[in-house]
Structure 1
């Protein structure tokens, strides 16, 4: 098993439980690990045979722009579902951080894993 990485992807979305948060967009920072086998793509030097991180990043930005949630947990869960369906991802680890949400912390957030992690080959 191999992992495609997307690190520190910033997206703007409406997120938060307070009334004032429902009237603005806020930045979320995402890290993703996506399980795949890169060997076919590497053998043929063909992006169509792997997870296209540019397409996935665009999908995430579009998702963030189209949706608003109260909880970071909900954002993470729904995003993981849509990524797995849209790109056929068997397993992913997604970290969603909300910088500045707690003044004493650089960021707060959640980390989830969804799907079945393939065995290393």
Structure 2
């Protein structure tokens, strides 16, 4: 799903945190690195014309919140992580649309691979 017309975007790429998510006991016990990409869609006009942080999304706060989800209580699936994060993004009042990709580069896959990820996109509309 592309960014809806009329919205600007803020991107956070490559947020890294260690989490204990997965269906296998060793994933929960040992943990692994997760990488998250976030895009939020909003109208930046009020913030840009007023030079007002309160009228936009503080990406430092959002990054910390995403980090806290990854390092928080374990979940079996990265699909669950992605949905929790997209809901978090949409909880910020200016955000009208959000896309979250959760990468699990150390996934327990028995063949050579570069990455596995799940992407979810949602809007308030």
TM range (shorter): 0.7 to 0.9
Determine if contact 2:90/2:124 at 8 Å carries over to the other structure. no
Aligned residue pairs: how many? 116
TM-score (norm 2): 0.84
Which ranges of structure 1 fall in alignment gaps of 5 or more residues? none
By how many angstroms is 1:79 displaced? 1.8
Residue of structure 2 in register with 1:109 after alignment: 117
CA distance in 1, matches of 2:23, 2:89: 25
Higher strand share: 1
CA distance in 2 between counterparts of 1:37 and 1:24 reads 41
Distance (Å, rounded) in 2 between the aligned partners of 1:14 and 1:64: 8
Quote the residue 1:55 is aligned against. 61
Rounded Cα–Cα distance in structure 1 between residues aligned with 2:119 and 2:70: 17
Instruction: Measure the CA separation in 2 of the matches of 1:36 and 1:76.
Output: 19
